[in-house]
Structure 1
Amino acid sequence: MHFVLMILVCAASVDHDACNADTAIDLVQRPATSELDCNGIGGQAQFATSAFAGRDDTYVKTVCKRVKDGTQASAG
């Protein structure tokens, strides 16, 4: 098993629980070596340099998914 860090950028008008791959404005996925690597710090840093940083109309949500080897994570 391995982990995938998903960085979701959602509109401020979207409820935090409703922020997912279908409702996000942008989605970035990157592999993580462990749950510790998947704690969102890398996602926050990546978001800080994106075009969405500093905007009041968006927020970032990070999700860590455990994935069996040979499969891809779904961001649902």
Structure 2
Amino acid sequence: MDHDSDDGLYAQFAPAIPEWNLRGKVTADEKGTFRICTVEPAPYQIPTDGSCGKLIAAAGWHAWRRGPGGPGEGLLPGTAEVR
């Protein structure tokens, strides 16, 4: 589970961020009960050129992904029971 930096960059695109930094953590016990530890991302923009740009243009989407108070759509915090 990747996280983005305060600048909206993922580790593989951000300069000087150590490998495996900016990752969420999933733990499970012997019964299969699991816990996910993550953070709400900073707003960031996905590429608007190449195949990604063609896809978002064809779908009528915008390029921004939402963080706290940022523009666009994003994931909301929540909990769920999985059986």
Determine which structure has greater relative contact order: mean sequence separation of CA pairs < 8 Å that are 6+ residues apart, divided by chain length: 1
User: Which one has a bigger Cα radius of gyration?
Assistant: 2
Structure 2 length normalisation: TM-score? 0.26
More strand by share: 1
Structure 1 length normalisation: TM-score? 0.27
